[in-house]
Structure 1
Amino acid sequence: MRTALFCFAFVAVFSGRAAADRCAGATSRLALVFAQLAQGDIASARENLGPIQAQHPDCPEIILALARMADETGNAPDAGSLFARYLQLAPQDPRAYTYFGRFLIERRQYDQADSLSAQALETNPQDPGVMALRGQILDMKGQPQEGLALLERASELDGKDAETEFYLGTMYDRAKRPAEAVRCFKRTVAINPHNARAYDYLALNLEPLGQVVAAEQAYGKALEVNRPGPHFDAFLDYNYGRFLGKRGDPKASKFFFDRAVELAPDVRAVWYERAKLNLQLKNYEQARSDAERAATLRDDRGIIIDLQIYALLERVYHRLGDAELAQKYAELAKKTPVLARGERQGGSRTHE
């Protein structure tokens, strides 16, 4: 409440002077604050913003910095109000649209983000951040080629925007273009070394390139920085558990799968993979429990299809000596059609 009252009092003192005049003498220090925000160093950004606020209370860019801090720390109500206020104060600044649009997307306010991105593209058609925002919206609207073209152009113009590089990397990941994805995620973590999701994606895309040691290092960095916040990765333990399993370390793999089912209890793939591991470890009752739990969960993305669940349950009940249930799932497997290529995503890895 104190933060909200402070922000309200702060935004009320603006005079009618030009924004540039109101921020005169603070430009270089504000640049440092925004660089620290881009790096995920919120504490340093807040510390450096304090003196600027005291000396330049009318500077509108302070509103943008406060909005981004509120967003990064999970204070959505203040962030939304501050982003909207900055857009009113600086409608010619492309950042007003870019950061507000990304905020709206994170809150699943897609219609508002769509309108804002279209307006931004009309106002600032050559701005990389605006291009990236519109590209993301187009991709989400089912126009991936148009979206990809805008994001690639934005990356060419400014390869130092972590959010642009991250989203572009996820598009390459979906398209199974690991080399391009690795390039984007390396750029992302170079800018913001606190982004656990980017390290996870980096590791996932290093694996198919045969760079196993580099992938393990990326997983290690992801685990080191995975903290609650906007870049928290609930699927990191699952992905790392699968990596360790493929590396022949089932004990370590189970440790991470045990954590994964706590972090993502409604995801079928998590329970399925732990069930397979428990079957391998001869923990048959736990394998049964995990596989039955997986069978109750929907998987609209087709990462783990029903046929895989039934085949696993057949094996589990066979090991448990329950011929009747083993036969039941064998019959279900025979009756379940295999999805045609393109109807399922394929593989067992997952992400948000």
Structure 2
Amino acid sequence: MNTIVLDADRRVGGPYTLASALLDRIVPDALARWPELVAAHDIELRVAAPHLPVPRHRTSLADTVPRAERILIPGARRTLRIANGLAEFVREHLARSGPAELTVANLDEADPTDTELVEVLGRRLDAGLLRVVRGPSEAGGGPLRTDFDRYRDEGFHHAMAESGLETLRGMAHQADPEAWELLAKRVAAALEAIEREDEARELYDTARRHVTEPRTRATLAYGTAMILVRHHDPARRDPEQALAWINEAVTIAGLLPDARDRAFHLGFDLNGKALVELRRGRHDAALSLVEEAIALAERDLPGEHPVHRLVLLANRGQLLAAAGRTAEALTCYDAAIAADPGYPDHYLDRGNLLHRLGRTAEAVADYESVMRLSPPFPEAYYNRAEVRYATGDYAGARADLDHTLDLDPAFVGAYVNRAGLLVAYGDFGAARADVRRGLELEPRNAYLLCVLGQVEAAQGRHQEALSAFDAALELAPDLAAAWANRGELAFQRGAHEAALADLTHAIKLGETADLLFNRSVVYRATGRAAEARQDLRRAAELNPDDADIRRALAED
């Protein structure tokens, strides 16, 4: 077994210090012997070890524009995708070249990118292939790395926050106002991304005490608005205060004298205001703002800022889809994908819309494009699982949900769906385990509580099931599945009127053949044959191929 000893101290190389050193050992061999393996993981290899000669295989429009136009900053969860991609590369390389033992020194001093990678390696690679051993750790010394352009471009938010705050503490605004203001904006955005919004807000307020330049003032106002409307704690969101701040940004940007400068900055801020209006429940206003920003770009930025224009186009597609204007939404997504066929997120959005429209094969093709274009993307597998389940491919759905949770054990929605699938299989013990894990992450998740109720009911624990359904409905009064399941539970207990009330409420929230069939059974049990027949006929209209419905009608 090959033995590798590496230092993970972030002061040595910043983010992915450990990953970079590990890749130094194995990428040259892979390039020489298995170049297709390197090509399959080029994005994650280039992110973690940009000094290595890894050819660019998968590209996006953002790779071709100047840094100032790269307005799409990766979110905090992107590093998990990178870590999973690196783990899969290492696993495949070791499967071909032989197992190894990796001793990691100074793991306590590692950047979060490396601690996340070590966790993923330990979870996803068999110990017989890679054994990870924690080596000695000493308190770090020396300066932090300050590659702020790289930190911004790659979404290394923890490094940007830590190194940026340290740099700002030793940097006077008066000495270099432009450099101080740029770094302050970047650090504040990073702090928001890692859910340290109070510190981000304090930094924006500090910057406001120094800055009078209009564009920077507008950016600070925009950043403050985004904290107020996107705070990770929903209880601390304040769309009304966000509106006050985003209006300041829009006002200032609208007064910029240069038409091109104004079109970009005002369009950016109008797009931010659209999010605020959406959170205020004003969907039409949000769509109008995005369309105003698109019109500005078309008039004053012809051929410029292509990433900005694509962001606006994709946002218009999302708003149109939410409004039910699906043909126009698809046109937006088609145009965005045609302009940047290497960007995975647009395929994900289009796939979701195609799934809603029942175009399942096309939806699956889009999700598989995401899988091909991106480092491991849990949402693509999760969404494909929904399509597979809807089309009766339960084994495929289960495999996709298993893989989703392999990639991201904190993906609560996958626990919900897999638990529901396990209930359908009759595997109540495994379903309960998934519910338990999901509720540890989100104790107030109504969907998990609904599945818990199904498990309790199936195991004859009727009072516990009722408590779970009641708790789900307290959190989500419009959750049709909870009403339906509570109705079925009431019927099993002989409470027919309560069953009718719950099933009727569920049908009002979303009429389906199954719900109508179940209510017809309750109507029949209470001697209300006419209502039962009416429900069966409507159920047959919705699902004429259902054998149970046809049989019930024939026996009527």
Choose which of 175, 178, 195 in structure 2 pairs with 1:42. 195
- Alignment partner of 1:244 out of 412, 422, 429: 422
- The 1:76–1:173 alpha-carbon spacing in structure 2 relative to 1, beyond 3 Å, is same
Offset at 1:112?
Answer: 1.7
2:247 is the counterpart of 1:62: no
Amino acid at match of 2:244: S
Matching residue of 1:115? 288
Whether the 8 Å contact between 1:261 and 1:270 is mirrored in structure 2 is yes
Change (3 A) 1:190 1:52: farther
1:285 correspondence with 2:463: no
Please identify the structure whose Cα radius of gyration is greater. Answer: 2
User: Equivalent pairs: percent with the same residue?
Assistant: 16
Structure-2 separation of matches of 1:273 and 1:54: 53
Q: CA deviation at 1:239?
A: 4.8
Q: Is the 8 A contact 1:269 1:304 kept in 2?
A: no
The one-character-per-residue Cα deviations of 1:206-259 (angstroms, maximum 9, x if unpaired) are: 645614143156479999466xxxxxx8xx887555323223134734436635
Distance, in Å, in 2 between the alignment partners of 1:138 and 1:310 is 35
Show the counterpart of 2:535.
333
Q: Deviations over 1:23-54 (max 9, x none)?
A: 654335534544565x5x331x5435644642
Rounded to whole Å, the distance in 1 between the matches of 2:543 and 2:405 is 30
Residues 297-327 of structure 1 deviation map (CA, whole Å, 9 limit, x = unaligned): 5536534676334334257x3xxxx6x35x4
**Which of 247, 251, 268 does residue 95 from structure 1 map onto?**
268
1:153 alignment partner AA: A
Q: State the match for 1:11 in structure 2.
A: none
TM-score, with normalisation over the residues of structure 2? 0.43
Match of 2:243? 80
Contact 2:189–2:200 (Cα < 8 Å) also in 1: no
Instruction: Report what 2:181 is aligned to.
Output: 26
Preserved CA contact (<8 Å) 2:404 2:411: no
Distance 1:51 1:267, change over 3 A: closer
- Per mean C-alpha deviation after superposition, the further-off stretch among 259-268 and 65-74 is 259-268
In structure 1, stretches of 5+ residues that fail to align are: 1-20, 227-232, 343-352
Determine helix, strand or coil for the equivalent of 1:338.
helix
Distance change (3 Å), C-alpha of 1:333 and 1:138: closer
What is the identity, as a one-letter code, of the residue corresponding to 1:249?
D
The CA RMSD over aligned residues, in Å, is: 4.5
Q: Deviations over 1:329-351 (max 9, x none)?
A: 54343554633579xxxxxxxxx
Amino acid at match of 1:171: L
CA shift digits 1:188-211 (9 cap, x unpaired): x98999xxx999756534645614
CA contact (8 A) 1:97 1:130 kept: no
Which residue matches 1:295? 504
Is residue 157 from structure 1 mapped to residue 366 from structure 2 by the alignment?
no
Return the match for 1:255 from 453, 456, 460: 453
Contact 2:204 2:224 in 1 (8 A): no
Q: Distance in 2 between matches of 1:199 and 1:50?
A: 39
Number of residue pairs matched?
A: 296
**Distance in structure 2 (CA, Å) of the matches to 1:141 and 1:202:** 24
Q: Contact 2:484–2:503 at 8 Å: present in 1 too?
A: yes
> Which piece of structure 1 moves more, 237-246 or 70-79?
237-246
Instruction: Give yes or no for contact 1:206–1:215 (8 Å, CA) kept in 2.
Output: no
From the superposition, tell whether residues 165 and 311 of structure 1 become closer, same or farther in structure 2 (CA, over 3 Å).
same
The residue type equivalent to 1:79 in the other structure is A
Task: Decide which moves more: 199-208 or 93-102.
Answer: 199-208
